[in-house]
Structure 1
């Protein structure tokens, strides 16, 4: 099985923490040159030192704030003008604050749409020409199991992530003939800052402690525990390899079996 990403370059968004960071580390271990993208330069520099360079890679980073799509487009364009090679794109952006859908304000939808779908579109338009030229491209969007089963209390996130999944499926049909695949990885309850926020929200609404909420949530997972960022990263990395060339346009839950739908 060919899992070698030597001579491949990967742009990894939200790559200084959680799933994004774990993905960057995994891709570097497989031989890829990694370009980190996040808004905090100090954490970018720190993460850069954690990436494997066993295949002679020179990893880099881009400072960009995903709440400002125009600034993201400018930063990526400036990078590609100097380093035009790109084979892998990992779209990964933190989700919006939770809460009932009925209480959500219009600007929450607009901002989340900008942060997720429009930024994804901007990045794809920037890197696909290089992927076409190389005859190799992997686009993996880290979304959520809410694509298959909406999560109570995350109304805005459920709505926009569903739109991202439809966008990705459509894109997968358009560009596969160029050797470019598009897939979505759907993390379940994963040990990240996002999970901590969900635990705090549910603790507040239920009156239970965070520890009690965590135990209840883990009991709903067939494997009996939360997912680790490294487990999600492993699925993402596999989809980026030559071995996954015919896997295209799918949603892959990494959730310990919790999602009720097929």
Structure 2
């Protein structure tokens, strides 16, 4: 089984020539996290491949992740960032996937002005252009799953992945259940998949995180294994990389070997078109 992590960040230090977003340091996961550090963690945890997602605190930059994908094409692909408020971005998605290593885009609607972009029309142009260009989208839109439901229905040809099961970073323990209530409603859309990423950081337990088992099963039952993607978000994990892999591979007895093949990598590779 080839294990593919559906999300990890790498990034470079902030410098005068490469500034981060104003205030970005307040929510950064550290000064830097290099491709070499990630490769070492992958080797230790038995992870074969990773979908790289540039972190939002760097701004809309893809250079570090694309360089890693060019250097290690058997290990990495990229879901890049795009400035949806820039009119010049509207012509980019038609050829977006022609960038070596690039599979799609990742959009965040969780803080600052972006918190309103799903409802105020700012993001409206993206969905049809992404569908036309064959560009899948990973979406972090906590508290906005009702709006994603409308978008998925209106644009059935765009492939959407809901990041972190739609959870904010401060949603913990029993508060997860209300989010899952809303999330599973999206399973009716064939063009919506979910990323079961960083869930160990949403509970107050240690490995093997017993309260997560039933919650993960509920999501898998709704979306089926082909639309549930294991991901770490390693730089935000409250456990080891290996523990988060073993949570799925060793502890979820309701998953068959075939289910695990899909959840642990095959599903995200097929969904994103990682050839």
TM-score normalised by length of structure 2: 0.36
TM-score normalised by length of structure 1: 0.38
